[in-house]
């Protein structure tokens, strides 16, 4: 085999020397790059270089630390403001119920006329939780009753061939808005009547939410027995709720702190209680009459 590499055209045996590589125009400052045999960086090398460069930059580290501190401080502010407007401990108090309390409370809402003692019980100046005191207001029954009312309204609309998500959403939002407006009106009335008591927004929300129990009974009776049964149930539940509201607000919420008040103030407190009770049948009828036909 003849080798021709390194020989000239005339068979000269002098080898040709390869020309040296030209010097680079710029110094290699890539540092973390790994060059593959084609002059291209290895896959992911640029990402690694950027991350290492960012982590090694003191300005970036300071910015990241400052951003973390701002986020932590903002989280603390949000928690502080949330606890300022909504006390979790107070909210837990209104959901401290058990099965026996729920059954007795529902019976009291339907037939309150034989109940004798309406005073809220205290232990070391702290009111007992609902599961230990039947007269204590709770938010469990209003919450569950509201959900049941929305489901029952959907069933009633479906029976009447009028169901749609929009109609059901309008029904639920209307019921919720009416309760919110009622609570705001009661808060304004308590402020104008200068009532000094432990009556809070949660108390008013609980007393206003008990109407959902009467609404459920009225709609169920109307679906089973027609419009006549609906109006009978409406009259019964409305009168029972009015009696319950008057006795509860007068004795448990307004009564103890209003005994020594002047006569005009006592009359204002009485008018406030009677007005809140008289408003219940109107709301119950307005939110349920269209569900029974």
- Give yes or no: residues 269 and 186 share one domain: yes
- Give yes or no: residues 141 and 283 share one domain: yes
The answer to the question of residue 271 being in a domain is: yes
**Which of 178, 113, 187, 129 shows the shortest CA–CA distance to 149?**
178
- Give yes or no: residues 80 and 224 share one domain: no
- What does each C-alpha distance from 232 to 67, 222, 237, 239, 268 come to in angstroms? 64, 9, 9, 11, 32
Q: How far apart, in whole angstroms, are the C-alpha atoms of residue 222 and residue 290?
A: 11
pLDDT band per the 50, 70, 90 thresholds, residue 5: very low
The answer to the question of residue 36 being in a domain is: no
Q: Which domain holds residue 220?
A: 136-289
Task: Please tell me the total number of residues recorded for the chain in this structure.
Answer: 293
Higher pLDDT pick, 264 / 116: 116
Q: Is the pLDDT of residue 89 over 60?
A: yes
- Give yes or no: residues 140 and 279 share one domain: yes
- Give yes or no: residues 75 and 218 share one domain: no
pLDDT band per the 50, 70, 90 thresholds, residue 288: very high
**Which of 146, 126, 140 shows the shortest CA–CA distance to 96?**
140
Digit-coded pLDDT (tens) for 96-154: 999 999 999 999 999 999 999 898 888 888 889 999 999 999 999 999 999 999 999 99
- Give yes or no: residues 171 and 271 share one domain: yes
The answer to the question of residue 107 being in a domain is: no
- Give yes or no: residues 264 and 198 share one domain: yes
Q: What are phi and psi of 241, to 5 degrees?
A: -70, -40
Q: Residue 49's pLDDT is what?
A: 47
Where helices occur in the chain by DSSP H, the ranges are: 45-55, 58-85, 88-93, 99-110, 140-159, 165-192, 201-209, 211-247, 255-258, 263-288
The answer to the question of residue 81 being in a domain is: yes
66's tokens? 């400052």
Digit-coded pLDDT (tens) for 52-84: 554 555 655 665 565 566 556 555 655 555 555
What is the per-residue burial (b if ≥16 Cβ within 10 Å, else e) of 99-114?
A: eebbeebeebbeebee
Q: Residue 68's pLDDT is what?
A: 64
- Give yes or no: residues 191 and 68 share one domain: no
Digit-coded pLDDT (tens) for 239-250: 999 999 999 988
- Give yes or no: residues 83 and 142 share one domain: no
126's tokens? 């702290």
The answer to the question of residue 11 being in a domain is: no
222 neighbors 245 (Cβ within 8 angstroms) = no
- Give yes or no: residues 80 and 206 share one domain: no
Average predicted confidence (pLDDT) for the chain: 78
Q: How far apart, in whole angstroms, are the C-alpha atoms of residue 118 and residue 96?
A: 19
Q: Residue 1's pLDDT is what?
A: 46
Q: Is the pLDDT of residue 260 over 90?
A: no
- Give yes or no: residues 185 and 256 share one domain: yes
The answer to the question of residue 94 being in a domain is: no
- Give yes or no: residues 140 and 250 share one domain: yes
Q: Residue 246's pLDDT is what?
A: 92
Q: Residue 86's pLDDT is what?
A: 62
- What does each C-alpha distance from 54 to 35, 37, 59, 82, 102 come to in angstroms? 21, 28, 9, 37, 60
The answer to the question of residue 177 being in a domain is: yes
Q: Residue 70's pLDDT is what?
A: 58
Listed in sequence order, the residues at least 6 apart from 108 whose beta carbon sits closer than 8 Å to its beta carbon are 115, 134, 244
123's tokens? 């232990």
The answer to the question of residue 98 being in a domain is: no
Listed in sequence order, the residues at least 6 apart from 265 whose beta carbon sits closer than 8 Å to its beta carbon are 193, 194, 258
Q: How far apart, in whole angstroms, are the C-alpha atoms of residue 255 and residue 270?
A: 10
Domain count, the chain: 2
């Amino acid at each position: 085999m003849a080798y021709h590499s390194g020989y000239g055209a005339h068979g000269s045996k002098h080898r040709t020397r390869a020309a040296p590589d030209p010097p680079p125009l710029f110094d290699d400052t890539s540092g973390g790059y790994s060059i593959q045999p084609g002059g291209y960086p290895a896959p992911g090398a640029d990402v690694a270089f950027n991350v290492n460069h960012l982590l090694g930059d003191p300005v970036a580290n300071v910015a990241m630390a400052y951003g973390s501190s701002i986020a932590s401080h903002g989280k603390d502010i949000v928690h502080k403001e949330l606890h300022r407007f909504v006390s979790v401990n107070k909210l837990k108090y209104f959901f401290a119920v058990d099965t026996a309390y729920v059954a007795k409370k529902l019976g009291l809402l339907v037939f309150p006329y034989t109940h004798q003692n309406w005073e809220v019980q205290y232990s070391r100046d702290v009111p007992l939780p609902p599961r230990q005191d039947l007269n204590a207001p709770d938010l469990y029954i209003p919450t569950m009753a509201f959900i049941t009312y929305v489901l029952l309204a959907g069933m009633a609309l479906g029976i009447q061939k009028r169901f749609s998500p929009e109609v059901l959403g309008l029904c639920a939002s209307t019921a919720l808005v009416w309760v919110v407006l009622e609570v705001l009106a009661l808060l304004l009335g308590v402020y104008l009547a200068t009532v000094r008591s432990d009556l809070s927004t949660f108390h008013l929300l609980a007393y206003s939410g008990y109407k959902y129990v009467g609404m459920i009974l009225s709609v169920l009776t109307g679906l089973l027995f027609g419009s006549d049964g609906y109006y009978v149930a409406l009259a019964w539940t409305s009168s029972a709720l009015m009696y319950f509201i008057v006795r509860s607000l007068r004795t448990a919420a307004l009564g103890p702190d209003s005994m020594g008040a002047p006569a005009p103030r006592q009359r204002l407190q009485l008018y406030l209680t009677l007005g809140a009770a008289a408003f219940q049948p109107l709301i119950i009828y307005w939110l349920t009459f269209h569900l029974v036909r």
